[in-house]
Amino acid sequence: MSLHMHPVADPRAFRHALGQFPTGVCVVTCAPGGVPHGMTMSSFNTLSIDPPLVLFSIDRRALSLPEWERADAYAINVLAEGQTELSNRFANPRGRKWEGVDYHLGPQGAPVLPGVVASYECVPHACHDGGDHVLFVVRVSGYRTHPERRPLVFWQGRYMQLDPGRPEQPSWPLDIHY
Ligand SMILES: Cc1cc2nc3c(=O)[nH]c(=O)nc-3n(C[C@H](O)[C@H](O)[C@H](O)COP(=O)(O)O)c2cc1C
């Protein structure tokens, strides 16, 4: 174990350090004016149960940021293992992200992808300054889940597979949670 505390001076090293936190991978979508947009994101997280809020953040350099700011609906598609091609496709700013992609529009009008582990349909709640990112807080209006599918995992800058091994007991929710 290293006892040395690194100062946050080198952005590359800091990014690398943050990559120690494993996440799932989402393709978040919107379709303002009927034109679909999608972006691969690992910044999705839960926020509030009541009201039902979740969050994600978008780099200020993202070409599509203005579309995200004017959208009135979003779908957060949680990718399953085996969907790395979709992840790479929606992370490529210069690619034709939607060419040949199968999807349907959810009730709020945002594209929902097939084969995903879960999709959460959301409407805007708040946008906040997040430094070089914009933090989107969105309200979930409906969702679908497929617990039989396994999620794609992202860790240390690489895609991984979840190996549940032997689930630990006790399982969620613990008594200490209110
Ligand atoms: C696994 C993974 C996670 C990512 N997470 C985010 C994220 O949370 N926020 C973000 O702004 N970009 C994230 N990106 C990068 C964007 O997907 C990529 O820059 C995207 O093409 C930007 O969209 P644009 O076409 O509008 O520029 C991620 C990329 C990968 C591969």
Q: Following DSSP, what letter does each residue of 104-167 receive, concatenated?
A: EE-TTS-EE-TT-SEEEEEEEEEEEEETTEEEEEEEEEEEEE-TTSPBEEEETTEEEE----SP
79 Cα–ligand 1 center, Å: 14
From the list 79, 44, 39, 86, the residue with the least C-alpha distance to 63 is 39
Q: How confident is the model at residue 138 (pLDDT cuts 50, 70, 90)?
A: very high
pLDDT digits (tens, 9 = 90+) for 88-137: 999 999 889 999 999 999 999 999 999 999 999 999 999 999 999 999 99
5 Cα–ligand 1 center, Å: 29
Q: What is the pLDDT of residue 2?
A: 65
**pLDDT > 70 in the chain, percent:** 96
From the list 85, 88, 79, 87, the residue with the least C-alpha distance to 149 is 79
Does the domain at 23-155 match CATH 2.30.110.10? Answer given as: yes
Q: What is the pLDDT of residue 6?
A: 87
Residue 154: CB within 6 Å of ligand 1?
A: yes
- Atom number of ligand 1 nearest to Cα 95: 25
If you take atom 15 of ligand 1, which residue's CA is the nearest one? 91
Global pTM value: 0.94
What residues contact residue 158 under an 8 Å CB cut-off, 6+ apart? none
Residue 92: CB within 6 Å of ligand 1?
A: yes
Residue 39: CB within 6 Å of ligand 1?
A: yes
Q: What is the pLDDT of residue 177?
A: 65
Residue 40: CB within 6 Å of ligand 1?
A: yes
Give me the residue spans of the domains in the chain. Answer: 23-155
Residue 64: CB within 6 Å of ligand 1?
A: yes
Average pLDDT over residues 66-93: 97
Residue 91: CB within 6 Å of ligand 1?
A: yes
Q: Is the pLDDT of residue 1 over 60?
A: no
